Amino acid sequence: MIDHPDPISLLEAMAKTLDEQVVPATSGGAKHQARVVANLCRIIARELATDDQPTQRDLADLLGCDGDLETLIRELDDRLRDGTAPDNTLPVLLADARRRAEIAKPGYTDA
């Protein structure tokens, strides 16, 4: 069973409600926190809508092994810690950082 509305629509609606209803009606710390929460809702919505398959593929190619995204990131982290990371690590990290920065702040990697 899949219930509706879907998570992304809900998160966007939550952000909109906070921005349009709660932020104007509050002040000081509460206003600031409402803005922060709205922003987090949008970040999570973008994260859910973003495909992390390319990162997983890049990491699998780079490391020459398989696994889910978290396993592969841990593997790269371990190899960096041991000083045994592959030579072409930078472009893979940069592509993934670009993807994550766009989730955190759309347009951030345009500049």
Partner 1 sequence: MLDPEQVRLDLSDLAGGPVTITGAASLGAQRSTLFVDYPVAGSSTAAVAQISTSVLQAVPTTLEAHILGLVHAAGVPVPEVLTAVDELPRIKLPAMVVTRVDGETVPRQILRSLPGPDAGHELARACGVAMARIHGIDPTLLPASLPSPTNDAFLATQTEVVNLLNEPRPVVRYAIEWLRQHPIADVNPVLVHGDFRNGNLAIDRGHLNAVLDWELTHRGDPMEDLAWFCLRTWRFGNDHAPAGGFGSLAALIEGYEQGGGTFRSEAFTWWSIARSVWWANGLASQGAAFSKGLTDLIVLAASGRRVPELEYDLLTLINQS
* Residue 30 binds partner 1 (CB under 8 A): no
Q: Closest separation between CB of residue 9 and partner 1, Å?
A: 21
Closest distance between partner 1 and the C-beta of residue 25, in Å?
18
3-state DSSP of the chain:
CCCCCCHHHHHHHHHHHHHHHHHHHCCHHHHHHHHHHHHHHHHHHHHHHCCCHHHHHHHHHHHCCCCCHHHHHHHHHHHHHHCCCCCCHHHHHHHHHHHHHHHHCCCCCCC
**Which of 24, 30, 66, 74 lies at the binding interface for partner 1 (CB under 8 A)?**
74
- Residue 57 sits in the site that holds partner 1 (CB under 8 A): no
Binding site for partner 1 (CB under 8 A): 29, 32-33, 36-37, 39-40, 43, 70, 73-74, 76-77, 80-81, 83, 85, 89-90, 93-94, 97-98, 100-101, 103-105, 108-109, 111
